[in-house]
Amino acid sequence: MAWFMIDVLLKLIVFIFLLLGYLIFLFSYRVFNGTSTRLILLSKFEDKDNGNLVPDVIFSQSIIRVIVGFWALGLAIHTAFIFYFYSSIFLNTWLESLIYFLVSMVFPLIGYFFIYVLNDKAVEKLIGIPKVILILNLSILKLPFINKFITSSNGNGNEENDAVEIDALEAAGLSVDPEEMKMIQGILRMDTVKVREIMRPRVDMIVVESDRDLKNVSNLMIEDGYSKIPVIGDSIDDILGIAYARDVLKSVGQDDGSLKIKEILRPAIFVPESQNLEQLLREFQKHRTRMAIVIDEHGGISGLVTVTDLIEEIVGELVDEFDVKDPDIRRINDSITIVDARMTVADLNEEIGTSIIAQGFDTIGGLVYKELGKMPEVGDHIEVDNLNITVQSTVGRRIGKLRLYIHS
């Protein structure tokens, strides 16, 4: 009976070692694979003085994580078998045990270079089946740490990993100017920034009705410089498709006045506002388009987003010779500042040194809506964080400009 209990205990210890090793392996694999898309994008960035050193630092750090995962898995397996078979003829001396231990450290490194580097998809298939079995068995326990370690290799990253990777650049002593660092941070944030943070809101969308004639739409595109315009049916929630300037201008010369815009539409793609930018980029690539309609959780239209919006989130605002835009912020004096209501709270805090906390809104206009609790009118004002914010102008139902008075 005693030997039976010892045998059961030894097998339980073996299982625990194998389980922990596999969890660490999956976690390290997730970290590496989760940043692969961003690393591919980052590899296109080259520091002027250091060539490809910037992406190499981040890539090397991710490789180390994967190697540690392989090493932990191999060490756990070999240690478990050493413990279980210690009394066997194969491990009668400490020298043989030491050799076995060293092999367990070298094996994961060889496994990494011959398996992961040569065939990434093969690894995914290799770990897929035991990964599913492990999830099914442990899901019964509902342990909090399971979701943290066992997750899809396509899952979202986290800002802590991004911060570590950025710190690695600074620790390496690389000379990266602020604009280049901002670009790197933008790439690393792609899996945390949501579409709703960069989209053009519903109230600012330019749309045309489906019964418009081609000449009318053509004039709108030429005068305002639009290359694509959503076409609606009964309402803005009924998006029928996208009108492309190329199709419109090609067809307008052959039109006798009877052709309507709805007859030359291309399909629109729809994305949820909760989708991150990494997933949005894949959607654009998959459908080979540059515009997407954003929908909310109820299926209503929230706004639209373009490839340009996505790129601007990474590299900053892109302005060409045809863009005519008022600045988001204009300082009158030390106490008075005029801002666009669409300016984000984070940008305002950075510009004028305030510490407004955004809860349930992203923009200054959203803050005003929340504090007023009604449709804002010119002259309405609120007090927040040592600021007096007054509605200076409106555009339809949307706030246009806000006047900020900073109390001294």
Domains contained in the chain, CATH given: 2-188 (no CATH), 196-315 (3.10.580.10), 329-406 (3.30.465.10)
Can you tell me the mean pLDDT for 206-218?
Answer: 89
Indicate whether 154 pLDDT > 90.
Answer: no
Can you tell me the mean pLDDT for 84-103?
Answer: 53
The residue with greater pLDDT, 184 or 32, is: 184
The pLDDT assigned to 286 comes to 92
Indicate whether 295 pLDDT > 90.
Answer: yes
Which residues, including other chains, have CB under 8 Å from residue 91's CB and lie 6 or more apart? Answer: 82, 85, 97, 100
Over residues 4-19, the pLDDT tens digits come to 566 556 555 655 655 5
The pLDDT assigned to 59 comes to 45
Do 66 and 201 contact (CB within 8 A), yes or no?
no
Question: From the CB of residue 61, how many other CB atoms can be counted at a distance below 10 Å?
Answer: 19
Residue 302's SS3 state is strand
Task: Please provide the average confidence, as pLDDT, over all residues in the chain.
Answer: 70
Both structure tokens of 293? 């309609």
Both structure tokens of 263? 């007859």
The pLDDT assigned to 146 comes to 43
Over residues 301-354, the pLDDT tens digits come to 999 999 988 888 887 776 655 555 556 788 888 888 999 888 888 888 888 888
CA dist 95 → 155, 167, 261, 363, 379 (Å): 44, 42, 82, 67, 85
The pLDDT assigned to 137 comes to 42
Sign of CA dihedral 297, 302, 304, 308: negative
The residue with greater pLDDT, 195 or 204, is: 195
CA dist 355 → 251, 345, 386 (Å): 53, 9, 10
The pLDDT assigned to 224 comes to 79
For residue 331, the cross-strand partners are 337
Pick the range with the lowest mean pLDDT from 172-181, 219-228, 247-256.
172-181
The pLDDT assigned to 328 comes to 75
Q: How open is the CA angle 113-115-119, to the nearest 5 degrees?
A: 110
Over residues 17-40, the pLDDT tens digits come to 555 555 555 444 444 444 444 444
The pLDDT assigned to 230 comes to 95
Indicate whether 186 pLDDT > 70.
Answer: yes
